[in-house]
Amino acid sequence: MINLSNKAAILFKSKWKDLEERSGDFWKIDILMIGRVPMLLIVHEYTLFTIIRRKSTFQNLHGVSSDILKSCPWYRGSQSLSLGKNGNRQLNGSINEIKRITAGLYSPDQINAMEMSINQCIFSYLSTEKRDYLNPFEAVESYIKGETPWLKYIYH
């Protein structure tokens, strides 16, 4: 259910190099520092839908997976916790773009504003043609309907 970045693996005391490399209908967790506060950037790999939480909110990854399932009832992937890593360069590039979008604009107390800003941005990762980009909210609507045509360009 969860793929960890190297930084997230360190924060949750997992050995990143020992995790299985995989891609699919998972959530990628990366770390976003806002000031001195470590925040979890939780990104759905198929839709780029993003949830942001303070790292201090969670003792372990079971708490993170429970929060994902509670926050995103539309998620159809695995409902049980499993860990892996994803080296998809397109996904990592989009996550870096998400970090740039939020850099310096928000305080740790502005989680809702950060999530809204990210989930309303358009991303080339979610495109099927040039200049035909979706935002994560639109991608979730398509995902719910079982329509994810942009994935054939990512996972070919």
Task: Kindly report, residue by residue over 10-39, the tens digit of the pLDDT.
Answer: 999 999 999 999 989 999 999 999 989 999
Total count of domains within the chain: 1
Q: Is the predicted pLDDT of residue 156 greater than 80, yes or no? A: no
Yes or no: say if 125 and 88 are a contact pair by the CB < 8 Å rule: no
CATH code (residue 63): 3.30.420
Q: Is the predicted pLDDT of residue 8 greater than 70, yes or no? A: yes
d(CA 29, CA 85): 9
d(CA 25, CA 75): 9
d(CA 22, CA 111): 29
Find the domain containing 47 and state its range.
2-154
Q: What is the pTM of this model?
A: 0.94
pLDDT digits (tens, 9 = 90+) for 81-131: 999 998 888 999 999 999 998 888 999 999 999 999 999 999 999 998 877
Helix (H, G, I), strand (E, B) or coil at 109: coil
